[in-house]
A and B are shown apart, each in its own frame.
Chain A
Amino acid sequence: MENMKFFIDTHDKENKTFPAEITPKQLEGFYKKYEEACIEEGVISLRIHVGFEDGKAFCFNMAPSVEAVKRVHDKVGLPYDSITEVSTITPGDLALLS
């Protein structure tokens, strides 16, 4: 496996990067397509957190590069606000990595 990094990407209905009226059921169907695109691009979808009321989503992925995360989104036609490479700084995580 390539050297993987952690990325968080963000979506917000105010910026038209989250489908405002989507239901949990519809999202489940969409997620299958998204996951297929992830596999094609060597991206591992760890978790997706959605605020249905606020119309926001936060996706947590492991990927070889930010470009790979971008390609996954392009493949399923999903726009995004930002993709950020992140480190996990909560003490338990830092302790394990040191």
Chain B
Amino acid sequence: MKDKSLDSHKDESKFSRREFIQTAGMAATAIVLSPALTACSTKASGTPLGSISGKKLKLYMDTHDKKNGTFPDGITPKQLEGFYKKYQAACNEEGVISIRTHVGFGDGRAYCFNLAPSADAVKRAHEKVGLPFDSITEVHTITPADLALLS
């Protein structure tokens, strides 16, 4: 049982790395047509299409704002890079795939995109690193190219 759980953890890490490599190629334009995103975005019906380790994954967006005390005011990109490693470790433990994090350093806001089996898993990843949040929302991608790919 222990071995099985270790194996599945390893698989998740592998998937996550592959995902980063695939998405990195398009980072400059941020037009992300990564398989995980397209596969796990959902149709209008809301049926999740992707899965990892047998769990269905959905797309979530969480928000942070210094005005609400949910974004560390004054954090530098370098500091955030160190923090991100801890966050990613927590994501791995909770079966969450961190797709992209967008930060407005000027305004003190952050928007994180994750693939996760549930909003609770995203919540737990945040709690593990002591990062508060304003909201976690399950989202669908409705931009035409995404809809077209899925239809």
Contact = CB atoms under 8 A, between A and B. Distances in A.
Interface string A72-98: 000000000010111111111111110
Nearest to B144: A31
Interface residues of A, number: 38
A53 interface: yes
A31 B44 contact: no
B21 A92 contact: yes
A27 interface: yes
A53 B92 CA distance: 27
A96 B21 CA distance: 10
A28 B27 contact: no
Contacts, number: 124
B137 interface: yes
Contacts of B98: 90
A50 interface: yes
Given A10-B63, A88-B100, A91-B84, A96 B27 contact: yes
B1 interface: no
B135 to A, nearest CB: 7
A8 B142 CA distance: 15
B111 A8 contact: yes
A93 B99 CA distance: 11
Contacts of A28: 142, 144, 147
B79 to A, nearest CB: 11
Interface of A: 6, 8, 10, 24-25, 27-28, 31, 35, 45-54, 56, 58, 60, 62, 82, 84-97
9 contacts: A47-B32, A49-B142, A53-B138, A62-B30, A84-B107, A86-B111, A90-B23, A96-B24, A96-B28
Interface of B: 20-21, 23-25, 27-32, 44, 59, 61, 63, 77, 80-81, 84, 98-107, 109, 111, 113, 135, 137-144, 146-147
